[in-house]
Amino acid sequence: MFRKRHVMHAIAAAIAVIAADAAAFAPCVRAADGPLVIARQGYFFVGGKIDTSIEGSPVVGQMYVEFQVPQTVEQSYPLVMIHGGGQTGTNFTGTPDGREGWAQYFLRHGYTVYVVDQVARGRAANWAQVYGAMTPPRFAFTEQRFARPEDAKLWPQAHLHTQWPGTGKPGDPVFEQFYASQVPSIADFAKQQELNRDAGAALLDRIGPAIVLTHSQSGAFGWPIADARPHLVKAIVAVEPSGPPVHDVVFKGAPDWFADAAPTKRWGLGEVPLTYDPPGAPEFVREEKSDAPDLVRCWVQKSPARQLVNLQSIPVLVVTSEASYHASYDHCTVKYLRQAGVSGMAVMSLPAHNIHGNGHMMMLEKNSDEIAAAMMGWLNETFAAEAKKTR
């Protein structure tokens, strides 16, 4: 009898643990939202080709795309979401603490949503014999840049980070869910830009005009995709896009904080060609002083600046959080684009919208819905203004 009671207590304890774990990761949908109502969903691959020169003749260069169409499509253009480095489309389809992601947020507001896995990431197969060396996930980098920048204090704004859902350390189930999602990336960033430019253009050729939302590394893909298909990119929402222009930044901590990294980005915003007028790669000069003590000193074009003619008519929103390393240099990306003639530029500094404490992975943090709402507000205003112009 004692053994039976002991077994029953053990089973009850195990069930309680399982229930607690399930509760920890149960989707947190507000009651007012109700269930997701989806008219159609699925997936497909775009870009790439069968390469018979490789054993097995695999398809290489393809991008994985999953989509959801709401029951009532209320928006004129779908939203294409392209994740950043070391990530996959899971950045947008949920959060590591079990809440709905940005894909579901925009779906609930009438957007058809396309979420990709970049070439050689996630469900877009990686072929090492084609893509070459890979950069693995890096634990220290993940802590310093994403989950716990306030501990490392490598840039002036890092101490303001408060929005990560959990401790951001090993042993915390939310952090371990996030770290489990990290994947290797093609080490050659120029190759990544070329492959994803071509696959992104193929995606737009298939689905038609769309809004392109990039994050971090994929910011370097958004500009060449728009350059290749300017008539199909209706707006770019660049969430802390890869930058700054010309040189990346090395973060050193106080008191000097910043140093330039090598090499030079030949085309300013990245390593793949963009259409400038007059044609050719720009020449660059560094500004004599920074705009503020806690900001990077920017590189810009030598005057007269070449113009990014295919981007000039595309509305662009650059979104920057309060505590991310991008808070120190996204202003340089904005300055570069404006100098190159991108007149439809808008800047969304989250603290200016009373959204505080976010780091670089803001789509996964506790207030992610607030950020999505702010971006959607800009889209609503932008396309309302566009509608007035066409009347």
DSSP 214-283: EEETTHHHHHHHHHH-TTTEEEEEEEEES--SSS-EEEEETTTEEEEPSS--TTSSSSS---EESSS---
| Residue 347 near residue 374, CB atoms below 8 Å | no
What is the layout of strands, in order, in the sheet containing 79-82?
Answer: 38-46, 63-70, 113-117, 79-82, 210-216, 233-241, 316-320, 345-349
Cα–Cα distance for residue pair 158/327, rounded to 1 Å: 9
Here the tokens at position 288 are: 């004599």
Single out the residue of 336, 319, 67 nearest to residue 213, CA to CA: 319
Instruction: Give the whole-angstrom CA distance, residue 181 versus residue 230.
Output: 33
Q: Kindly report the backbone phi and psi dihedral angles of residue 303, in degrees, each rounded to the nearest multiple of 5, phi listed first.
A: -80, 140
275: CB partners within 8 A, 6+ apart: 227, 308, 309, 310
Residues with active-site annotation: 216
Q: What gap in Å lies between CA 359 and CA 150, rounded to an integer?
A: 10
Residue type at position 34: G
Nearest to 164 by CA among 180, 149, 185: 149
Residue 286 falls in which region: left (phi positive, over 0), alpha (psi -120 to 50) or beta: beta
Report the alpha-carbon distance of residue 329 to residue 290 in Å, rounded. Answer: 10
Q: If you search the block for the tokens 């072929």, which residue do you land on?
A: 127
SS3 of residue 41 by DSSP? strand
Biggest CA-to-CA distance, the chain: 90
* CB contact at 8 A, 158 and 323: yes
The encoded tokens of residue 89 equal 């489309």
